[in-house]
Amino acid sequence: MVTENEALAGRFQMDVFQAGDLEAAGDILSDDFVWHGGLGPGEDERGSEAVKEIATAIIEAFPDRRVTHEDTLSQGDKVLIRWSMTGTQTGELMGITAAGKAVNMTGFDLFRIAGGKIVEMWQEVDQLGMMHQLGVFDGVG
């Protein structure tokens, strides 16, 4: 049985990133939402507008993307989702020119929920693996 918090956290990937419903970000995120980690330059992202910008970049880079929830765990106000995303990079991503290469990204998102909204998310993504798959470099020297 999926809890309300699990359903809300699941919408972050499935509604916003998979379905491309950018307006859903405003519905599910608190006004002071903070995204720790992720694909950005290392600083926390804040608010639904930042999420919409990141989602747009992913959607444009991987128009055939498929997000899958591998595992979901919850306790109290926290929900952890282990996810994967497959797709072919046909658009620029973070300055990386599209090379038409398929990738399989994996990550973990830990959400904190309060008042029926997502207020914080900590994300760990295998960026090194993604960069290797995109041919940015052949390996670590």
The larger pLDDT score, comparing residue 74 to residue 98, is at: 74
Q: Residue 111: in which H helix or E strand, if any?
A: strand 102-114
Q: For the whole model, what pTM was predicted?
A: 0.89
Strands (E) located in the chain = 29-37, 45-46, 66-75, 78-88, 102-114, 117-125
**Rounded CA gap, 8 and 39, in Å?**
21
**Rounded CA gap, 57 and 93, in Å?**
6
In this prediction, residue 42 has a pLDDT band, given cuts at 50, 70 and 90, of low
How buried is 109 (Cβ within 10 angstroms: 0-12 exposed, 13-18 middle, 19+ buried)? buried
The overall average pLDDT reported for the chain is 90
- Torsional sign, CA 79, 108, 121, 62: negative
In this prediction, residue 140 has a pLDDT band, given cuts at 50, 70 and 90, of low
Report pLDDT for 41. Answer: 54
The size of the chain, in residues, is 141
